[in-house]
A and B are shown apart, each in its own frame.
Chain A
Amino acid sequence: MAMEMRLPVARKPLSERLGRDTKKHLVVPGDTITTDTGFMRGHGTYMGEEKLIASVAGSVERVNKLICVKALKTRYIGEVGDIVVGRITEVQQKRWKVETNSRLDSVLLLSSMNLPGGELRRRSAEDELAMRGFLQEGDLISAEVQAVFSDGAVSLHTRSLKYGKVSPSLVKRQKTHFHDLPCGASVILGNNGFIWIYPTPEHKEEEAGGFIANLEPVSLADREVISRLRNCIISLVTQRMMLYDTSILYCYEASLPHQIKDILKPEIMEEIVMETRQRLLEQEG
């Protein structure tokens, strides 16, 4: 078996190579943002001794009278209408607890869930007992945020046909977060940072309602496409580029000449992402 060994090497930070600089006002905790008391304080700030002080490290954003500091990295904060991909962690009395990379686990109420068969009937006691038959711990789902509780926990619903247990047999729609890439895979970009990649089913089926679990093994060609996509997405994330269908597609095309496992090497990653950036700039300009 051939083995590859690499030694760590100091790399020049990418920002130097891009040659740009930021015009934003960057702060760290403890910095005074302003002593003017006319402003309202938003996220990432707190009031201390008549001064507005930052509480996270990030950039200051000012909208009229509201000042907030946007941190570089936070857990997902739910907004109504967002699409999320999550994993079931617990089955409770009339609801499921879903992990969505946010501060608290989200809840999926039984009444907000599509039943197989698609009927719109009241949820009875038998449904409660059969909850584990629909969704178990560890299952992946895609859902939409219905409401946000006061402490930040998020309530999900899977009412529409396009949500539910994530499986290849979901009906595809032309919605912003559900993408079919021409390379033969489909992507669901959850707003919470979780991304689901799956092979595009060959035929569009008109679903009678509810969901069907499609458990056929995925072919090798599809799996290669999926792994290549995954590595591309990881390289985009490491180089901190925004993820949307065009950027993922360009990155995928730029990575075709390399082997799948080479994409994760730092030099090749930088090369691919630079090429993607170029193409995106050309497309805009």
Chain B
Amino acid sequence: MAGLELLSDQGYRVDGRRAGELRKIQARMGVFAQADGSAYIEQGNTKALAVVYGPHEASGRAGWGIVWPWELRGSRAERWLGDLRGNGRRASVYTADAQHRISLGVNIRGSRARALPDRALVNCQYSSATFSTGERKRRPHGDRKSCEMGLQLRQTFEAAILTQLHPRSQIDIYVQVLQADGGTYAACVNAATLAVLDAGIPMRDFVCACSAGFVDGTALADLSHVEEAAGGPQLALALLPASGQIALLEMDARLHEDHLERVLEAAAQAARDVHTLLDRVVRQHVREASILLGD
């Protein structure tokens, strides 16, 4: 789109936001009854779902841990399930209950060749639904982008989860992007944080993430797909708000070092704003559960 103005003279962006303004965030915890922890988050039009299993006995298999229900239709998934059962490995399939909660896929247990003796193993898998982008695109499970995102998520959460408390066990985090409108890494991290909290796994602090860019001398926070596609520099930052420590900082574009400070500050401020929102969601959820349990 030629002539698209990412930042107008009055300081408004394409969707009417100001430079440092976030998109509307809505989040819910405990969406799946079967998983240990789960959460759903919407940041503007970006929607992500995170599911956490664990800590449980370490298994040898990573990456193919979960098959989401919309993928179960395909014959490939059915053949794969058949292979698993034929090998005698224990594969449990969760199904929808009468409340029409979405059915989860398969959770595999195998050998414990990868267990670490002094801390827990964090295993992250990222997957993007075929209907998440403007054009329907089939993404095989092991492709490069998913692996890279999985690795980044793992690095982020290994920094935040207190893994020394659970030696020899494994924590699985599965994230699925249902709709991608920019800031997918940030939405994944925020959803996964809520899911890990829902599962009761001890963490140092929340992990809040946000993306940021730089246009016309101004730093923009929380980029949407249009702004990302325009080709400017983008930065993704995952922050532990209470201490201000950075869990992960990622950028693959060219940015003059004079501007780095400003963009980093914009991203950090946006992450702190995200923290305020997530904090409210978690407190509400804990309060609700506490009331129901009775004092």
Contacts and interface: CB of A to CB of B under 8 A. Distances in A.
Contact of B203 (A15, A56, A264): A56
Report, as a range, how many residues of chain A touch the other chain.
35 or more
B291 A26 contact: no
Contacts of B242: 30, 53
B206 interface: yes
B100 A73 contact: no
Contact of B167 (A28, A57, A151, A261): A151
A72 interface: yes
Interface stretch (B6-14, B123-131, B180-188, B280-288): B280-288
A73 B198 contact: yes
B291 A264 contact: no
A18 B293 CA distance: 11
Contacts of B55: 75, 103-104
B37 A261 contact: no
Report, as a range, how many residues of chain B touch the other chain.
35 or more
Contacts of B202: 29, 44, 46, 55-56
A18 B249 CA distance: 45
B293 A240 contact: yes
Given A72-B286, A240-B289, A240-B293, A104 B90 contact: no
A149 B293 CA distance: 31
A257 interface: no
A151 B115 CA distance: 13
Given A58-B286, A75-B55, A28 B279 contact: yes
B86 to A, nearest CB: 15
Contacts of B293: 240, 242
Contacts of B33: 238
Interface in A15-39: 15, 18, 20-24, 26, 28-30
A26 B204 contact: no
Contacts of B291: 15, 18, 20-22
B286 A57 contact: yes
A224 B292 CA distance: 29
A137 B90 contact: yes
Contacts of A30: 204-206, 240-242
Contacts of B99: 264-266
A281 to B, nearest CB: 10
A164 B44 CA distance: 54
A48 interface: yes
A75 B286 contact: no
Interface string B33-76: 10011000000000000000011110000000000000000000
Contact of A22 (B168, B240, B295): B295
B198 A55 contact: no
A56 B57 contact: no
A144 B288 CA distance: 33
Interface in A211-261: 234, 238-242, 261
B162 interface: yes
Given A56-B201, A75-B36, A26 B292 contact: no
Given A56-B200, A242-B294, 19 more contacts: A15-B292, A26-B286, A28-B197, A28-B279, A28-B282, A55-B162, A57-B282, A72-B198, A72-B200, A72-B286, A73-B200, A74-B200, A75-B36, A75-B54, A89-B90, A99-B57, A104-B169, A151-B167, A240-B292
The 7 closest A-B pairs by CB, nearest first: A71-B200, A264-B98, A55-B202, A30-B205, A30-B242, A15-B291, A240-B292
